[in-house]
Structure 1
Amino acid sequence: MIPVNSKTIVFVTGAFVTHRGWDNWKLYFESRGYTTYAPPWPFKDASPQELRALHPDKNLGLSRLTLDELVDHYARFVTSLPERPIAIGHSLGGLITQILVNRDLVAAGVAIHSVPPQGVFPYEFSFLKAGWKVLGILTSLDDTYLMSFEDWQYAFVNEMPLEEQKAAYEANTIPESKVVARGGLSSAAHVDFEKEHPPLLLTSGSLDNIIPEHLNRRNFNHYQKNNSIMEYQEFEGRNHFVLGQATWREDADYILNWLKKLSAAPVAPAAV
């Protein structure tokens, strides 16, 4: 393995939430010598309040965004940088990170509570309960989807105090493209699990309803154990709001230490 010496990080945002959820993570890694970016999705470069005011989109842009277009958006961004960056993605951003890693467009990837690629079937009840509404079954694809506070409580912030749940909802939730969500079930979400690839770390949380731990582990286990560097880590007490939980710095510390190991010397593939 060639050591990973990139000092650039691109944070890849997931569905339902603003890219500003990475603000603390950006400051954390910048204070440790990294140059960081958290580019918004197309049609999402505004505050959560402004974006919610546009809901439903009524075919103005976001509602027609596809997963293929979104992946291409991030692919163009990472390839425009002076060096191959490290991609760190959450949820659907984790899936996009896995795709970028698979295409050899980044130096390494970290997929946090990642939506699984095509071929890893999410049969878990909690996944279906938390995520089925965004697919827009029997509703118009010309309208965006905005997660209700009740659904937010189940899908993202379960086990947190009520006031923290409300504050997190107000600061983070934004409308979503149903077409992008459906793309997660199509070939747009394809990953070649047999292909050698840059180092990849997958993390999961014991409290996550929308992407439960065993779904994350099945995602990891689909990769063929070849010469690629793979690692899997479950964190206790993490729900899907992992980026904003009080424990976020512990997760960032683990990721930072993993990156340091990659930069230090050749590493043998990790066994789980």
Structure 2
Amino acid sequence: MKTIHSKTVLFVTGAFVSHRGWDSWKTYFESQGYTALAPAWPHKDGIPAELRKNPDLAVAALGLTQVVDYYADIIRQLPEKPIVIGHSLGGLITQLLVQRGLAAAGVAIHSVPPQGVFSFSFSFYKATWNPLGFFKSARKPYVMSFKEWQYAFTNGMSLEEQRSSYEASVIPESRRALRGGLSAEAKIDFKKPHVPLLFVAGSEDYIMPAELNYANFKRYRHAGSVTEFKKFEGRNHYVLGLPTWQENVDYILNWIGNH
């Protein structure tokens, strides 16, 4: 029996990057008859190069719960519960919105894990250590360096692709929001009933490895709720902008159509 009837999609952007990374996805979903929204986080709406040059200091004050509440307020103004699709930290936000009962379905793409779900991958710790910056101040916005971008997001891509994607995508970030993913702000009740939830992972993701996404998926324990996992080969963390992005979208659309 089909349970996903919504024709509204809310895209939730992750950390470090502009919401414009959803542009192609938004257009594609709209071509399939959906109403699609991809709002920027508070204080992050602008051209990436300009935001990097003149970062809004208010970004640094953003906490994870504040960002979740922001998306929750958007949802409450919609005529129906949306299908929530989030990438990276947006994937964790998707899980939290599903837990609040605000989504018709959820898709967590290369998701940041909730509290208590860990990875033993060296690449995970290497890619997240400096952005989290436990021994550094969280009073100023953090901008991922190009070297960090190469490792965490665009590993395996040509230098030209890495540079162009950095220029087009990277914006100042809140370390408070990042650290919130390790706190009770990111707590999930894995035994609670929930709407259909799909986890998508990539075999080449260094910062959010596929095995971490699988561990996240496996923690859900409510037998009567749909929870599924899909790993794509060859995808790094820049999955939304890779030449293969449409294959991911088609899989998600097919999953939505079958649930």
- TM (norm. structure 1) is 0.93
List alignment gaps of at least 5 residues for structure 2: none
Deviations 1:204-256 (A, max 9, x none): 00000000011011000101041001110000000000000000000000000
Could you say what secondary structure the match of 1:61 adopts?
Answer: helix
* Contact 2:190 2:222 survives alignment (8 Å): no
Deviations 1:74-119 (A, max 9, x none): 1111121001100000000000001111111010000000000111
* CA distance, structure 1, for counterparts of residue 107 and residue 218 of structure 2: 16
* Contact 1:135 1:182 survives alignment (8 Å): yes
* CA distance, structure 1, for counterparts of residue 50 and residue 194 of structure 2: 39
* CA distance, structure 2, for counterparts of residue 138 and residue 190 of structure 1: 24
Paired letter, 1:54: N
* CA distance, structure 1, for counterparts of residue 99 and residue 135 of structure 2: 34
Could you say what secondary structure the match of 2:241 adopts?
Answer: coil
Paired letter, 1:199: P
Deviations 1:144-167 (A, max 9, x none): 111111110000000011111111
Partner of 2:20: 20
Partner of 2:161: 164
Paired letter, 1:10: L
CA drift of 1:2 comes to 5.7
Paired letter, 1:138: F
Partner of 2:254: 257
Match of 1:180 among 168, 177, 180: 177
* Contact 2:123 2:206 survives alignment (8 Å): yes
CA drift of 1:123 comes to 3.2
* CA distance, structure 1, for counterparts of residue 243 and residue 53 of structure 2: 29
* CA distance, structure 2, for counterparts of residue 54 and residue 259 of structure 1: 40
Match of 2:139 among 138, 142, 157: 142
* Contact 1:12 1:88 survives alignment (8 Å): yes
Partner of 1:267: none
- TM (norm. structure 2) is 0.98
Partner of 1:132: 129
Aligned residue pairs, count: 259
Superposition RMSD in Å: 1.0
Partner of 1:224: 221
Partner of 1:38: 38
Range with greater deviation from structure 2 (15-24 or 96-105): 96-105
Match of 2:71 among 58, 69, 74: 74
Could you say what secondary structure the match of 2:211 adopts?
Answer: helix
CA drift of 1:24 comes to 0.1
Alignment of 1:200-239 (within 5 A): 200-239=197-236
Paired letter, 1:18: S
Partner of 1:266: none
Match of 2:188 among 188, 191, 202: 191
- Identical amino acids, percent of aligned pairs: 59
Alignment of 1:98-109 (within 5 A): 98-109=95-106
* CA distance, structure 1, for counterparts of residue 35 and residue 65 of structure 2: 27
Could you say what secondary structure the match of 1:227 adopts?
Answer: coil
Could you say what secondary structure the match of 1:105 adopts?
Answer: coil
* Contact 1:116 1:122 survives alignment (8 Å): no
* CA distance, structure 1, for counterparts of residue 45 and residue 119 of structure 2: 30
* CA distance, structure 1, for counterparts of residue 119 and residue 234 of structure 2: 21
